Structure 1
């Protein structure tokens, strides 16, 4: 998807979730997914499942943040 379509897709997903609908999304774009995720399932050689905050504070989250640069959660004002 182009950037505008991606933003629109995430806005729709966010609205659905705010209306009580659980959304399961699979993405290789971890930074974008973390903007809206409440829970994370990260599958690799060392799988992780937990809240976004638990991911951010985990060793895996810290490694990802270092790799991605900056804050991994995206929306810091929420």
Structure 2
């Protein structure tokens, strides 16, 4: 079975004194809170089952990772 894998290859910037921070976004991950559904089953006050949006992904079913890299001197 094929698997999607995202990777970040690091290399020091040419002008580290000017660009000492950088940020990359990786998206398309299934939400671990709702397993990609975007909702959870709940009961209302009458006992009927309703779908409540997932509080982790906001109802989208997807998550993204935001990776921030800060370049500093190696001591």
State whether TM-score is above 0.5. no
Q: Considering Cα pairs closer than 8 Å and 6+ residues apart, tell me whether 1 or 2 has the greater RCO.
A: 2
* TM-score band w.r.t. shorter chain: under 0.3
Higher helix share: 1
So what's the TM-score if we normalise by structure 2?
A: 0.20
